[in-house]
Amino acid sequence: MTDGYAPYNAISAVNHLVHLACWAHVQTHALCRERHLAMDNNSCENTFRPFVIGRKNWLFADTVGGAKASANLYSLIETSKAENIDAYQYLTEMFTVLAYANTADDYEALLPWNLQPIGQAPA
């Protein structure tokens, strides 16, 4: 087969179709047995949606430095969300103590998984 579609033609072979049908059957039964699994990927798509919007906005940054700064800020916001931390509260507390950071360890302590709420002693 020299039509450039050899991989697709190979998939359409009877043996492969039977294999694919059996695999689809196994997956369907696994979903029926495991009721906690979602049959769609909406939660996964919703996780990436803000990133796609941000990516489109980064196209209009005036400078490379500005694009990097907005990407870093966006990364901090998404990381705080992943750590189940309110992004606004995290940024407020982080910017409050950022002026006092001098060393790499000081900056490391400001990451979402390390920052202690103001007035709370470290664990």
Say if residue 57 is in the same domain as residue 103.
Answer: yes
Owning domain of residue 57: 42-108
- What average pLDDT is seen over the chain? 76
Say if residue 49 is in the same domain as residue 88.
Answer: yes
At 1 the pLDDT is: 47
Say if residue 12 is in the same domain as residue 54.
Answer: no
Q: Which one-letter DSSP state was computed for residue 99? A: T
Please compute the mean of the pLDDT values over residues 34-62 and round it to a whole number: 74
For a pLDDT cut of 90, what percent of the chain falls above it?
Answer: 19
Domain count, the chain: 2
Rounded distance between C-alpha atoms, residue 73 and residue 95, angstroms:
11
Domain contains 66 = yes
pTM of the model: 0.52
Say if residue 71 is in the same domain as residue 50.
Answer: yes
CA pseudo-torsion sign 76, 82, 88, 90: negative
Domain contains 22 = yes
Cβ-in-10-Å burial (0-12, 13-18, 19+) of 74 comes to middle
pLDDT in tens, 8-30: 566 666 566 666 666 666 667 67
Say if residue 16 is in the same domain as residue 49.
Answer: no
Domain contains 116 = no
